[in-house]
Structure 1
């Protein structure tokens, strides 16, 4: 009799779990349909940096370290630009669900205007911030190479952030393929220009890392031009591009976008700044550790783009359900994206473990005997970092998709405080202590990253779970009344 009861209980549990999972897995198809263009677009952004690293890495460890140091400044600025621009998407996605075309047009114009101002501001700030390199304990030869590189890549922030305004507008309307097309075009241009300008192919001068910077600038300008043309020529979107006037700008919409955009920018800034601090800490250990850190970071960033794409998908779909006021469906959609992100990141984690010794070779010229000793040391350190990255990218994937869902709910202030505490109260102190005061060195720095990302993932999910349960409860009470 007891055996029968036990079997009945087990069967009931298994059946409930399968049915419960099915409500999430049936959303996978649409999630991936919406996410894959975003993922490819995100990978395109990362690929620009990876191409720079691979091509510059052939010149030597000092050049690779200089690009790493220069990009550490640029990454901070890009994080602020991308984070701020994400405020446009949930406003437009919710308005799209509500069929409010006037609100869509307003959010697009105001968002694009603010992105233009932000791009110019970030360019100026980065150029003025260059002297900070002298206070970071970086090698002199690396700083000398990084200074002119920063000037050019900082200028590319202007078209980069303006492009984000167009992208977030299209994403909010669930038209996620347009940014993918723009990024593919930009990467083709970037690879060709890098090859010609870095190495001095054909009649082009050999410009080294400055050639990589110019390739980035030109490709990003073309990206904005392409995005404007392809969106404005779409019949469904033509009305949003006509008769723009500065007189249309209203304080209320500017205030709304800034109110959502600034905390979102700070959320992304806190995480990117933590990784940037890891670059600086690695640089203080020497050019070998910094080059190894850059290799591992490039690979981890590439896989992270899959989670970033799902994060935008979560933001779009949660915003849509919020506009429809279907909070139970909202919860199912969000959890389906969380589950999908975990599965994908686990697959990448296994890949990093299996190929941690092989992957660093892609970034270095092992045929150059003069660089062989340095390169072998870089590979040894990078291989260890990839083992840590295998674990932390699971936490990283979870925190970013939950953050996307919270942005879809237009809940940004509390997550801002959570990310600050996770990364700078937990993550950075661990990185600093283990990296500077133990034999773990670069590996210890990355263990600190793992700690910060894990704390962020746990508390952001607790926040999301609290808000959605509250929304469902309030909606149930309203229906009952």
Structure 2
């Protein structure tokens, strides 16, 4: 293997990936700010936000997963220099995202009674219920925003969504602070204040994104002449055929992590709070992998449009290599600081919380050691999925992710978490097993598919 053919791609890969990474970290920052500010109210409030967000994560995964279908079509059309195809895909994709956002909101609100069947602490459920209503509503602007974002990503313009997310974060921190704690004349609303801060910031995110793009020379020509008469069933179907399996892929993984939240909750509120801390930190590093996944999707789609499959393989493998290097760094960081990081999420000065805090830190530090081990698996599975989406291969990967997470991962999580002394750590060992299976079989799928494409192209 000639390493230089892969490393020469690092610079452009990073150029595309870093705004996506920072943008995704901006999304995560909204959750971190909620956890940090709510954590100061007490462990029950933190557990309620954790339980509420477990529902929200499922809805968000469907919306984000579905919207990724827009990027490969846009990137392929961009390589072909087909402006009309780009414009049409954007308009159809944005319409589908708007409809999906509304559907997800209604679905989550209707699913709230499930909390009562989940063996969760009563005080936690009572606080989580109104929180879910508001944050579920915020998913409507989130999924609409994804329509804009995936369109821009497909044109290799990954910076604009990052700007919109960080502007939204400024709005979020302000409204969270004044509405949670009731300062400067605002009402003191506790975790409902956190939910309202999220709603306001996500609406502003869409407003920022629309304004930035509509006044940008690269994008504004694609904003013209939107009419419902132009909407074609064939194009909607094409996007849905790619979007639905992509949504399912993301759903299967997020649902596994959500099941981990629920299983942790059934072990007690401290296990659930520890799980939330570890999950927040692991999610932050996962956003870096998502940045590389989007990069893989864009670049593979470009080379698919050019029908240059040999260069496609080189570019994809260069992204896989850089992902492994970065995730190794994060894994090492988790090992070194696993005892320290949980302190950042708890109010260590409150003597009434001391016993709870000690137990939460003990559990969370063990979970971070497991998270350190699965960094590479988690990073690789999502990046290879991005490359496969770039090839518009989504159905077989959908089945692979289902088997990996729900036939391999979940039974291990359930058994080790509920029926052994490992508790929350056992739940996370199941996550590790699922992620590793997914990474391995998705990589085998990518290798076989690209070899076949190269052979067919050479013979042609």
Could you say which TM-score interval applies, normalised by the shorter chain?
A: over 0.9
Tell me, in whole angstroms, the C-alpha distance in 2 between the residues paired with 1:295 and 1:341.
24
Q: Cα deviations across residues 290-319 of structure 1 (Å, max 9, x unaligned)?
A: 000000000000011000000000000000
Report what 1:190 is aligned to.
172
Report what 1:337 is aligned to.
319
Report what 1:436 is aligned to.
418
Tell me, in whole angstroms, the C-alpha distance in 2 between the residues paired with 1:191 and 1:33.
28
Report what 1:121 is aligned to.
103
Report what 2:112 is aligned to.
130
2:34 counterpart of 1:28: no
Tell me, in whole angstroms, the C-alpha distance in 1 between the residues paired with 2:77 and 2:210.
22
2:343 counterpart of 1:374: no
RMSD: 0.5
Aligned with residue 42 of structure 1, among 14, 21, 24: 24
Q: Could you say what secondary structure the match of 1:129 adopts?
A: helix
Report what 1:177 is aligned to.
159
2:77 counterpart of 1:86: no
Tell me, in whole angstroms, the C-alpha distance in 2 between the residues paired with 1:339 and 1:147.
43
Aligned with residue 289 of structure 1, among 266, 271, 276: 271
Q: Could you say what secondary structure the match of 1:137 adopts?
A: coil
Equivalence map 1:412-427=2 (5 Å): 412-427=394-409
Tell me, in whole angstroms, the C-alpha distance in 2 between the residues paired with 1:372 and 1:58.
13
Tell me, in whole angstroms, the C-alpha distance in 1 between the residues paired with 2:218 and 2:330.
38
TM (norm. structure 1) is 0.95
Equivalence map 1:237-248=2 (5 Å): 237-248=219-230
Tell me, in whole angstroms, the C-alpha distance in 1 between the residues paired with 2:130 and 2:106.
15
Tell me, in whole angstroms, the C-alpha distance in 2 between the residues paired with 1:149 and 1:441.
28
Gaps of 5+ in 2: none
Aligned with residue 93 of structure 2, among 108, 111, 119: 111
Report what 1:235 is aligned to.
217
Tell me, in whole angstroms, the C-alpha distance in 2 between the residues paired with 1:313 and 1:254.
24
1:431 Cα offset (Å): 0.1
Equivalence map 1:261-410=2 (5 Å): 261-410=243-392
1:236 Cα offset (Å): 2.5
Q: Cα deviations across residues 214-242 of structure 1 (Å, max 9, x unaligned)?
A: 00000000000110111011123222111
Aligned with residue 445 of structure 1, among 427, 432, 455: 427
Aligned with residue 76 of structure 1, among 36, 51, 58: 58
Report what 1:12 is aligned to.
none
Q: Could you say what secondary structure the match of 1:390 adopts?
A: helix
2:141 counterpart of 1:154: no
Q: Could you say what secondary structure the match of 2:120 adopts?
A: coil
1:205 Cα offset (Å): 1.2
Report what 1:472 is aligned to.
454
Tell me, in whole angstroms, the C-alpha distance in 1 between the residues paired with 2:390 and 2:183.
47
Tell me, in whole angstroms, the C-alpha distance in 1 between the residues paired with 2:220 and 2:252.
37
Gaps of 5+ in 1: 1-16
Report what 1:5 is aligned to.
none
